[in-house]
Chains A and B, each alone.
Chain A
Amino acid sequence: MTGNKSAGMAAMLAAVLVCGAADGSWLKHVPEADRKCVNPLAGQADAIAGGARIFDDHCAKCHGDNALGRGKRPSLRSERVQQAKDGEIFWLLKNGNLGKGMPTWAALPEPMRWQVIAYVKSLGPSSPGEASRSSDAAKP
């Protein structure tokens, strides 16, 4: 009985931690200098196409093929992510959010990280129809 209780509490804690990844709390940790960084590849068609391939390789496994989220992993087409500054997202890719399940992508060369950001931003916010199709995605 005690074992069941402990297991239940551990599962609850894990769920809280994973869901916490989507709460956007990381945004307030971004230093001002990083926030101001501008994506040198923003809007460039080649960069977006390359970014799509990197996204497919590295990001889609957690965030879904259409970036709408998967399981408890958050959608990258939420208003918050789409409205976040490029520098803020770049900071998140470099540092990750290790306590909440997002790995660091610092080993990915900087231009590739900017390409991913260009691609994610090119997707735009999800429409209500798309969001409901990804019914099991975490709320952003």
Chain B
Amino acid sequence: MELCGFLLQICCNKYFSLFLFLLLFGAAARGQEPPYFVTYSDALEEPGNLEIAYKGINASPKNSNTFNSGTLELEYGVNGWWTTEVYLNGQITQNDSTVFTGFRWENRFRPLLRHHFINPVLYAEFENINGADRSFLEVVNHDSISDVRATNADGRADKKREMELKLILSSNTRGWNISENFISEKKLNQSGPWEFGYALGVSRPLTLSAGRNACLFCRENFVAGLELYGGLRTTDSFGLSGTSHYLGPNILFNFPKGPSIGFEPSFGENANSGGVLWRFKVSYEIEQIFSRFRGNSH
């Protein structure tokens, strides 16, 4: 257990993660994903590609210990209309401990095979996590920053098996991406109503065409955006009262033929929200992963 904790501690260190990704993979392809951390767009993983991503959060909420949360994501494009993804979550809380907080398995399906002005994507996820989870991959019901005041030991005792369904609506027009997510979540191992949340995002590359010459800091390698997300309570009492909300400007930088790095400060919009969640991510796409094993990638 001590070894697991030590490894998790290392993996939750953002600088180490960045170094590891740059070191392990020499050449890659980049996807066409917007820079959001919570909001999903209609972009699915390209068929046959595996994306490995690390998402971290650093936060120092009022009256709580500083924590660093880490999420490892493995995303695979099964085909043009289906993407599957596994998440492993953990966190380190100052003056407390380092814990593994569970896993998630999600699937995203694109029901319409043609492009439309608004493109729907259906999302289904199974979560096996515990109350010590600090990944903030979504906010539902009256999830509040006060939840993180519980000790890791107490949080771990609260086992959660949940099903999460999302309706993702996304539009791409004149270089802009506009995405809306409606989130619903149901606990499978406890009774309770469906819990709801939302996420909205808008983003655009800094330029709409590629320059003649390759360069590292070309505007085309940057995508900037803004997202708003929060809870909407439950089927019993739908609404905004007592919920938390965050607004985050974000930016994604795509290294040419390399990894992508994203950053977002999520600003809490009311007393139920944390002050600022400092979010960052590093993602790397391995193209045609199984072709590599078959040895016919060239």
Residues of A at the B interface (CB closer than 8 Å) are: 45-47, 49-51, 53-54, 56-58, 61-62, 70-71, 94-112, 115, 136
12 contacts between A and B (CB under 8 A): A46-B212, A53-B211, A62-B46, A70-B288, A96-B113, A98-B80, A99-B81, A103-B46, A103-B47, A104-B115, A107-B43, A112-B210
Dominant SS among interface residues on chain B:
loop
CB-defined contacts of B257 to chain A, threshold 8 Å: 56-57
User: Does the CB pair A70–B297 fall under 8 Å?
Assistant: yes
**Contact string against A for B residues 130-151, beta-carbon threshold 8 Å, 1 for contact and 0 otherwise:** 0000000000000000000000
CB-defined contacts of A62 to chain B, threshold 8 Å: 46, 48, 288
A1 to B264, CA, bound (A): 53
A19 to B99, CA, bound (A): 47
CB-defined contacts of B113 to chain A, threshold 8 Å: 95-96, 98-99
Contact count A vs B, C-beta below 8 Å:
99
Q: Knowing A57-B30, A62-B288, A101-B79, say if A115 contacts B47 (CB, 8 Å).
A: no
User: Does the CB pair B172–A107 fall under 8 Å?
Assistant: yes
User: Does the CB pair B210–A51 fall under 8 Å?
Assistant: yes
User: Does the CB pair A61–B29 fall under 8 Å?
Assistant: yes
B interface residues, how many (CB within 8 angstroms): 43
User: Does the CB pair A98–B208 fall under 8 Å?
Assistant: no
Counting CB contacts under 8 A, is B296 at the interface? yes
Q: How far is the CB of A88 from chain B (nearest CB, A)?
A: 15
CB-defined contacts of B89 to chain A, threshold 8 Å: none
CB-defined contacts of B42 to chain A, threshold 8 Å: 104, 106-107
CB-defined contacts of A61 to chain B, threshold 8 Å: 29, 46, 49, 287-288
Q: How far is the CB of B5 from chain A (nearest CB, A)?
A: 38
Q: How far is the CB of A42 from chain B (nearest CB, A)?
A: 14
**Contact string against A for B residues 20-50, beta-carbon threshold 8 Å, 1 for contact and 0 otherwise:** 0000000001101110000001111011110
User: Does the CB pair A97–B80 fall under 8 Å?
Assistant: yes
**B34 interface neighbour in A50, A107, A111, Cβ under 8 Å:** A107
Please name the residue on chain B nearest to A61 by beta carbon: B287
Q: How far is the CB of B160 from chain A (nearest CB, A)?
A: 33
A46 to B209, CA, bound (A): 10
- Which 9 pairs across A and B sit closest by C-beta, in order of nearness? A98-B80, A50-B210, A61-B287, A109-B208, A111-B209, A109-B175, A107-B32, A49-B212, A98-B81
A110 to B172, CA, bound (A): 10
User: Does the CB pair A103–B115 fall under 8 Å?
Assistant: no
Within residues 183 to 219 of chain B, which ones have a CB less than 8 A from any CB in chain A? 205, 208-214
Q: Knowing A53-B214, A109-B175, say if A115 contacts B209 (CB, 8 Å).
A: yes
Q: Knowing A98-B110, A98-B113, A107-B172, say if A53 contacts B210 (CB, 8 Å).
A: yes
A67 to B47, CA, bound (A): 18
CB-defined contacts of B60 to chain A, threshold 8 Å: none
Please name the residue on chain A nearest to B207 by beta carbon: A109
A15 to B266, CA, bound (A): 45
Counting CB contacts under 8 A, is B177 at the interface? yes
Q: Which among A51, A70, A94, A98 has the greatest number of chain B C-beta atoms within 10 A?
A: A98
Q: How far is the CB of A63 from chain B (nearest CB, A)?
A: 11
User: Does the CB pair A49–B213 fall under 8 Å?
Assistant: yes
CB-defined contacts of B110 to chain A, threshold 8 Å: 98
A115 to B212, CA, bound (A): 11
A54 to B29, CA, bound (A): 11
CB-defined contacts of A51 to chain B, threshold 8 Å: 210
CB-defined contacts of A108 to chain B, threshold 8 Å: 32
**Contact string against A for B residues 152-184, beta-carbon threshold 8 Å, 1 for contact and 0 otherwise:** 000000000000000000001011010000000
**B80 interface neighbour in A56, A70, A103, Cβ under 8 Å:** A103
Q: Which among A71, A97, A104, A110 has the greatest number of chain B C-beta atoms within 10 A?
A: A104
CB-defined contacts of B175 to chain A, threshold 8 Å: 109-110
Q: Knowing A49-B213, A95-B114, say if A110 contacts B208 (CB, 8 Å).
A: yes
